[in-house]
Amino acid sequence: MNHALKLSLAISIAMLALAGCKRDENDANPDSTALSGPQANAPDPTEKPADTTGTTGDATSAVANDPAAPAAGVPAAGTLTQADAVALVGAVDKHEVAAAEQAKSKKVTGEVAQYADMLHREHSKNLEAGKKLNPNESSPEVTALEEKGRSDLSTLDQKSGKEYEKAYVDAMVKGHQDALTLIDTRLLPAATDDNIRAFLTTSREHVAMHLERGRALQGKLGGAAQ
């Protein structure tokens, strides 16, 4: 083989070897930029995010997923029952009857005596009507209201004459205003039974009338006691 043929053969072999190396490099890393740069750790946009409900500190989610949490609109613990509501009206009736009896024992006169007679008569009648509706007289709120009534009467009992008359009427105005607020804000909203709601509505009408009469009498006696 002459020198020219040998040189040509050597060049051809070298070129084939170089082409084979380049092809192997491309097969090993077809896209040299795919795993480099900041996109290497980017999340797959088609991947669905993991459900982290209940694993975060989101208080709203925690309450929503808590089966023991009270539902919206459910009354909180301690809300009055219908039996409690009737018994509270009964406690008011008892106090007004006792106050009227005290007033008569103090020999109140004129319009004050007439007012006391009316309160005794109408609250006695209302008390009997409430007893037919199974009131819960052992309710702690009823007990507390009755104790307050006894304390108020004890304080009132220390007065006499015209001073007592004025203080008695002032106490009746305040007591009936408090009773009206109680009925409107707590007792009527607790009533779902038709009979109980009718009883509370009638009680409210009487209390409102007694309050109006008391205020008129209070004005004649010179206003609230100081």
pLDDT, one tens digit per residue, over 184-210 is 999 999 999 999 999 999 999 999 999
- Residue 10: pLDDT band with limits 50, 70, 90: low
Report the C-alpha gap between 157 and 160 in whole angstroms.
Answer: 8
Nearest CA-CA partner of 196 in 75, 79, 86, 80: 86
Evaluate if residue 43 carries a pLDDT over 80: no
Q: Which amino acid is at 63?
A: V
Give burial (CB, 10 Å; 0-12/13-18/19+) of 110: exposed
- 120: part of which helix (H) or strand (E)? helix 110-131
Residue-by-residue DSSP string for 189-216: HH--SHHHHHHHHHHHHHHHHHHHHHHH
| Total count of residues recorded for the chain | 226
User: Among all chains, which residue has been given the structure tokens 């304080």?
Assistant: 155
- Residue 85: pLDDT band with limits 50, 70, 90: very high
Our separate counts of H helices and E strands in the chain read: 8, 0
pLDDT, one tens digit per residue, over 137-180 is 999 999 999 999 999 999 999 999 999 999 999 999 999 999 99
Q: Which amino acid is at 91?
A: A
Higher pLDDT, 106 or 46: 106
Report the C-alpha gap between 139 and 87 in whole angstroms.
Answer: 8
Cβ neighbours of residue 70 under 8 Å, at least 6 residues apart?
A: 76
- Residue 75: pLDDT band with limits 50, 70, 90: very low
Token pair, residue 152, equals 């108020």
Domain range list for the chain: 82-220
Report the C-alpha gap between 30 and 28 in whole angstroms.
Answer: 6
Best CATH choice for the domain 82-220 from the list 3.40.50, 1.10.8, 1.20.1260, 1.10.3470: 1.20.1260
Quick check: 162 and 189 in contact, CB under 8 A?
A: no
